[in-house]
Amino acid sequence: MSTTPALRLTPAEIRERIGRLPRIPFAFTPTPLEEAPRLSAVLGGPRILIKRDDLTGFAFGGNKVRAIEFRLGHVKANGYDAFVLVNIGQSNHARLHSAACARLGIKMVIVKPGPKGERIQGNLLLDHLCGAEIIEAGTTDPAELEALLDRTLDDLRQRGYKPYPSTREPFSPIAGTIAFTEASIELVDQLNALGATASRVFLAGGASAAGLGLGGKVLGASYTVHPVSTGASKASLLNMELNLSNRVASEVLDLPKLMTEDDFTVLDEYVGRAYGDATPAVVEAIRLAARTEGLFLDPVYTGKAMSGLIGEIRKGNISKDETVVFVHTGGTPAIFAYEDVLAAE
């Protein structure tokens, strides 16, 4: 990955610019960067290093722990006292916001799409434990969900709250990208300490991948980010990565919009039928990681991302001498809601 020197920033400059934002500490960092020698051997190389962001510590961890530091910093600094999400029952995002809001004394409300009476397991169980108010929408129709969100916000205002409708707030989507722009410094430092030069970073596509791409580029890192789609088409995921990374470049780092399509190698061929489809390749990836490294991946995000890494190795697109980083972005509580596909041999 090459950047003109004028567009490079030092780690101190990145930290200083990000440090201007309100922030509440939640994550235990640095998270480990671990070798996965048995997984690598079974796949016939390359060297695989796993960035253990499932171990960010708070409320069963995951990539969102870094993001909530900024999102809830923003919420608190702007005087909101209720946080409203529209999100599904097995959302890791909702679980971490439920837990963080509990810790901060902020009221948490989840407008939950889909059928009523969902089994209370995995992340949804944890939302309940944290005391989140859960409004079962009984629909997935976007217009009906927006109308229900309006009514929920009105109701909260009438009850005296100042609610933060996360899905409508412009700052909300870039919180994770800011966090992972900063996390790039941590990753590059760890690679340097190992004397390793990573050529690729694989992870589930989204805000975190946008941050690792941006951070890597402004630091002059050796890797290209490979966001593996968990549902979106290649074009729409690429658009998201570019939009988020360029927003953070210009709105936070005071840089031009320097990210281009060459900075991300988006893969959408591992999605299966749709978001949440635990394809045979996903199930195989989950078993392989557990049986070679004692590493637990989830069926929606990390299992799909690993199926992408395995698929690319098997296609011969990654050579034996390369070093690849796989970012474990968490999501492990969702495993317990998928026993029907994961328990069978």
* Residue 175 DSSP code: H
For 47-89, give the DSSP string.
EEEEEEGGGS-GGG--THHHHHHHHHHHHHHTT--EEEEE--T
Per CB under 6 A, does 204 bind ligand PLP?
A: yes
* Closest distance of CB 331 from ligand PLP, Å: 3
In terms of DSSP H, where are the helices of the chain?
11-18, 37-43, 64-77, 92-104, 122-129, 142-158, 175-194, 207-219, 234-251, 280-293, 302-314, 339-342
Q: How far apart are CA 51 and CA 327, in angstroms?
A: 5
In order of 108, 168, 301, 325, the CA distances from 39 in angstroms are 40, 41, 19, 13
Per CB under 6 A, does 62 bind ligand PLP?
A: yes
**Contact map string, positions 4 to 33, toward ligand PLP, x by CB under 6 A:** ------------------------------
Cβ distance to ligand PLP smaller for residue 184 or 208: 208
* Closest distance of CB 126 from ligand PLP, Å: 13
- Can you tell me whether residue 242 is helix, strand or coil? helix
Per CB under 6 A, does 92 bind ligand PLP?
A: yes
Torsion-angle region of 316 (φ positive above 0: left; ψ -120 to 50: alpha; else: beta): left
Give the footprint of ligand PLP on residues 211-270 (CB under 6 A).
none
Cβ distance to ligand PLP smaller for residue 204 or 286: 204
Per CB under 6 A, does 85 bind ligand PLP?
A: no
Per CB under 6 A, does 331 bind ligand PLP?
A: yes
If binding means CB under 6 A, how many residues of this protein chain bind ligand PLP? 17
Of 33-41, 104-112, 205-213, 255-263, the window that binds ligand PLP (rule: CB under 6 A) is 205-213
* Closest distance of CB 173 from ligand PLP, Å: 8
Q: Which two tokens stand for residue 240?
A: 């998201």
Give the footprint of ligand PLP on residues 285-324 (CB under 6 A).
298, 301-302
* Closest distance of CB 305 from ligand PLP, Å: 8
Cβ distance to ligand PLP smaller for residue 33 or 156: 33
Per CB under 6 A, does 97 bind ligand PLP?
A: no
Contact 309, 269 (CB under 8 A): no
107-112 and 133-136 strand pairing: parallel
Name the residues that contact ligand PLP, by CB under 6 A: 62-63, 67, 92-93, 176, 204, 206-209, 298, 301-302, 329-331
